Structure 1
Amino acid sequence: MAAEGAEELSNNRDLANCPVAEHDEPEDADLPKPDNEESRGQDGGDPGIPTASITTEEEEEGEMPADFERLWKITSDNPQNFNSWTDLLQYCEQEGHMRASRQALNAFLLRYPLCYGYWKKFADLERRAGHNEKAEEVCEQGLKSIPLSVDLWIHYINLLLGTLNMNLPESTRRIRSVFEEAVSVAGWDFHSDRLWDLYSEWEKEQNNLTFMTRIYDRVLSVPTRHYNTHYEKLKTHLISWPPQDTVSPEEFSKVRAEYKQSQIQAKKERSSEISPDEEERPPGDEEHVDDGTDSEEAVQKMQELLLVSREQVYQQNEAEVRKRWNFEEAIKRPYFHVKPLDRAQLKAWHSYLDWEIGEAETAAGNNNNEAVEGDEGSQQACVAGHDRVTILFERCLVACALYEEFWNKYVCYLAPRGLEEVRNVYRRACQIHLPYKHSIHLQWALFEEKHGNIFEAQRILESLELSMPGLAAVRLGRVGLERRAGRLDVAESLLKETVDQSKHQPSLHAFYSIKLARFLHKLCKSPGKARAVLQEAIELSPDNARLYQNLLELELCGDLRVNGAGVQQCVAKALAAPLSPKTKIRFSQRGLQFAEDFGTTVQSVLSLHEEHQKLLREHDAKRAADNSDDYDPEKMSKMDYISAMTVPQTAPPTMPQVPMTTPPPSLMGGDMSGSYGNYSSWYQLQYGAYGSYQSPWSQYSQYYPPS
């Protein structure tokens, strides 16, 4: 029977390699980890342990097994630990408790739906309990999650063959429809040979030799591992039965006409070679009259013609298989597991995908160049190339479901071909396989926003923040989304909420305070509110130089004729703060530059200059003490001499009255060897994350010496 043969076929694969038997701990070195493994829901647990989705009308009553609650709690506290799940499932299987097994399997398969072995276990569990309909439902749900699983399709078909009454016509129709669905979905897999064999053998048991031929004809053009075996079976099948029993009436009529035409042609050739005296036939040797039956020779010739028409298809398919053979041999683990794949495996998948995409694009380009109006062949070739790429991506995402790079690659391929396809890929990746990979969630939100689906983008980011609270990228993503949507009040409230919630983390509080201050200043046009935010943050983090830098930028952006005092106050506050000496020198230099450019009295310039020189001397002395081995007395004496010669006495030095052809020599000693323009590079280094500031005083570098 086909069912028995199918069981043998399904056991050919070494199930020791499937996730059912592998309980190894994932290796930390190569496994793609979640961006925030410690993130959980707001209540401290997982954002949602899946609940049972397969239930029966009569649930078993009674308490759970003794250790079930303990093992269930372990999986609930750390649902990403695959070993804890397998321990729970193994315990439920040993106890034989139906309700506990059902609850554990439902929760596990919602989190790891690609483990086909556990779908098979679940279906067998329901079947042994007498719930055949529930067993079918389990298989159907599993096939929605893994439509390319040949093993699961075969298991589902065997289940139907064992439970349906095959004497009923509707049972036969249902089995054939399931077979058709299976080969249409998974039949293009390189390892789908067993499914095609099972289908053809089942049709043979139904005495449908014509259907059997059609199946072999279809698989003859599919690149599979055992493509040559299918061709040999097809040849054996065609020569074992009369042509009228193995092919459609249309094809039989066509091949019979070809045979007759070849006979007529051969007769003409023979008659041209026979003399007129030999044309007369002896008595009783009349020409054969066509009575609708074919001679044994005619049957043999027609069988040969049937094989000739299929030989070309086989040769083309063999060429396709040879192209893919090395790629397929490089793939060692085609099924899903949480254990990491090595770099060679990842590279093999990337290479295979790139090659298949290149083949499809080349075929599409050739067809576009050669196609004419109404030519359906080129369009079918384009569709076939796209289908092969799609199937290979789906195969890849079974084995590499935990690797974000392959989901992104799939999205990039599908983007020019349809929005809904891309949306489905994002949905599968984010909601099932990569719930803790925030970057792909952010990409999904941007995709939805780009195509005008603002509410869906908001939902994605809000859900991600609930499952991974505290991630700055997610909160800023929400702020950016609201800002681009024109909802500045919502964006401001999100930033204020984050600032208030981060007061127990000074560095994070300073980060969000700077974001809020810039938002209030640049978009809300409220410099007063922005100043208050920064000043409050400085009180909480007085040693954070970025806060002073942003406050200084804020003061410089105002009316300097009115706001000059605010600039000097900011500089004075930075000099009094517990900042590093180098940072204080830079703020001092900035204050001196501002006084020289915008100060109203010369006394203020001189006072700030003297204070700046004092900071430089203190810094030089400290540096000399810290680097006593590199201390050069002669060099330091020379610097002191230059400094003493350039100290102003009663008035600032006068500018020369004649044009200068060369820049003046350095007038002031100290650590700062460049012009004021050097401040720009310092500001970019210190404040690059929050926007660059181009110094407007670099044009005066030839007149003002470095301090």
Structure 2
Amino acid sequence: MDEFKTLEESVKQAKDKEALRSVYRELVTRFPFLYGYWLKAIQVSDDPGSTWEEALSKCQSLELWVEYLKSPYGSSVAAAKKAVDIFGCHFQGHHVYDIYLSRIGPAERKEVIREVLEIPLYHHANYMKLAQQLDADKEDYFKSLSLNVTKSIKEIWQFESHIKRFYFHPQELEKSELDAWKSYLSYMEKTGSHKQIKTLYRRCITATALYPEFWLLYIRYLLRSSEESDKNELLNIFKLAMHHVPQNTMIRETYALKLELEGQFEEARNLLTQCSIDSLVAFDIRNNIELMQIQNAVYEIEYIAQTKSLHRVNHIKQSPPVIEELFKSEKIDPVILMPLYSEGLCPDLVQYTHRLKSAGNIREFLIVDSQLG
């Protein structure tokens, strides 16, 4: 990072705008979450509008969006509304709400303020005052609502106050900071809405972009989601994660598994060839059970049995507790596990035949039962 700062200073002194533009381009390409350098890149760009568009698509920074809304390119109501859609559950979301409220009419403003009152924001008290001024007849209702929201704000502040760096920087974070993020995410997953959880994860991976474990936490959360909109988010997160921590094979392997489950075998194979064989052999399928839930782990094993992917089959044979857990799961159709049986990976044939018979899978039951004599 220091080499870039030195280069930037030397270019500034030389007043070479083209060279400066090149430096900023190199920086934001390598570190797309550096919102400050996106702002500098925009200042020297020949096409600021296009650079703004690229910056906002690659760096979901509240600070960057606020600057965008202050610029001629983000002066519309629609731009402010989009910012609210993205950062409406951000603890510091008042920055975009204030701009949005200043651009809409009285009737709509009143409705938005009512909605904002239900969100635990740092400036909640300010919106409470506005609501009481606009709708004095509902003062008791607002006070009752405020009690619950204020309680959440106090709880959230316990986490916010322990995190000092919410922005991206290549320098390492203190362990206490990483622990604070983990605690904060755990709390939000238990108490927050889906939108609040996603907002916090986005904030987290911005600050912890060079730490694979946080990317994997967000990937795990998105994999569990059933919302259609999260499919594109997941794809984007996989790509961002591989850009920021390209050396981490766990992220690539998880992405490859996801592609396999969707039938994109060629794309998955290309990803896996970028990983070392040693890493593939060491890939523990138990991580897939945690990341993608047990059903997806079954699909992974079924694919292995069908394709005879030796490095994976050999590894699974070394993980009998995992196979046993899969066979015991009441949520899985036992017929799905037939490829495992045919590969000799069934830990308890008697139990398996009982499950097949109970599920009414008579043909499969007879196949396995005949092997028992």
Alpha-carbon distance between aligned partners in 2 of 1:234 and 1:97, rounded to the nearest angstrom: 52
- 2:138, 2:279 → 1: CA distance? 64
Unpaired runs of at least 5, structure 2: 284-299, 315-373
Instruction: Give a deviation string over 1:393-425, Cα, whole Å, max 9, x none.
Output: 111111111111111111222222258354432
1:501 matched to which residue of 2? none
Corresponding residue number in structure 2 for 1:425: 237
How much does 1:87 deviate? Answer: 2.5
Residue identity matched to 2:255 = W
1:201-233 Cα shifts (integer Å, max 9, x gaps)? 344xxxx33333233223222211121122224
User: Residue 191 of structure 1: which of 81, 85, 92 is its match?
Assistant: 92
1:394-473 map, 5 Å:
394-418=202-226, 420=231, 421-430=233-242, 432-462=243-273, 464=274, 471-473=276-278
Structure having the higher helix fraction is 2
Cα pair distance change 1:451/1:142, threshold 3 Å: same
Q: Is this contact kept in 2: 1:461–1:477, CA < 8 A?
A: no
Please state if 1:110 is matched with 2:110. Answer: no
Tell me, which stretches of 5 or more residues in structure 1 are unaligned? 1-81, 165-173, 239-302, 361-384, 466-470, 493-514, 516-707
Contact 2:205 2:215 in 1 (8 A): yes
Report what 2:190 is aligned to.
Answer: 358
- Superposed CA offset, 1:353-385 (max 9, x none): 11111225xxxxxxxxxxxxxxxxxxxxxxxx1
* Aligned ranges 1:383-394 → 2 under 5 Å: 385-394=193-202
Q: Secondary structure at the match of 1:214?
A: helix
Counterpart CA distance in 1 for 2:131 and 2:13 is: 46
Partner of 1:684: none
Asked if the contact 1:411/1:425 (under 8 Å) is kept, the reply is: yes
CA displacement 1:321-372 (0-9 Å, x = unmatched):
1221211111111111111111111111111111111225xxxxxxxxxxxx
TM-score, length-normalised on structure 1?
A: 0.38
In structure 2, do the counterparts of structure 1 residues 230 and 91 end up closer, same or farther at CA, with 3 Å as the change threshold?
A: farther
1:153 aligns to what?
65
The count of aligned residue pairs is 290
Distance 1:414 1:219 in 2: 25
Q: In 1, are the aligned partners of 2:77 and 2:103 still within 8 Å (CA)?
A: no
Letter in 1 for 2:206: V
Q: CA deviation at 1:309?
A: 4.1
Aligned residue for 1:337? 169
Amino acid at match of 2:185: L
Q: Distance in 1 between matches of 2:265 and 2:305?
A: 10
Cα pair 2:132 2:142 within 8 Å, conserved: no
Shift of 1:88: 2.5
Could you tell me which of 125, 133, 137 is aligned with 2:50? 137
**Mapped contact 1:461–1:474 kept (Cα < 8 A):** no
CA distance in 2, matches of 1:408, 1:475: 17
Aligned equivalents of 1:483, 1:92: Cα separation in 2: 54
Shift of 1:386: 1.4
* Larger Cα-atom Rg: 1
Question: Closer, same or farther in 2 for the Cα pair 1:358/1:476, shift >3 Å?
Answer: closer
Conserved? CA contact 1:136–1:156, under 8 Å: no
- CA distance in 2: counterparts of 1:213 and 1:93, whole angstroms: 48
In structure 1, how many angstroms separate the alpha carbons of the residues matched to 2:197 and 2:96? Answer: 21
Is 2:152 the partner of 1:320?
Answer: yes
Counterpart Cα distance in 1 of 2:216 and 2:36: 27
Match of 1:529 in 2: none
Counterpart Cα distance in 1 of 2:11 and 2:108: 44
> Deviation per CA, 1:285-309, whole angstroms, max 9, x where unpaired?
xxxxxxxxxxxxxxxxxx5314344
**1:224 aligned residue:** 121
Per the alignment, in what secondary structure is the counterpart of residue 414 of structure 1?
helix
CA distance in 2, matches of 1:119, 1:193: 23
User: Partner of 1:241 in structure 2?
Assistant: none
Query: How far is 1:472 from its partner?
Result: 4.0
Aligned match of 2:109: 212
Change (3 A) 1:304 1:340: same
Q: Which amino acid aligns with 1:441?
A: R
CA distance in 2, matches of 1:451, 1:215: 40
Distance 1:137 1:191 in 2: 27
1:89: which partner in 2? 8
Is 1:120 the counterpart of 2:39 in the alignment?
yes
C-alpha displacement at 1:178, in angstroms? 0.3
**Which residue of 1 is the match for residue 354 of structure 2?**
none
The Cα offsets for residues 79-119 of structure 1, whole Å up to 9 and x where unpaired, read as xxx22223233333333323222222222212101111011
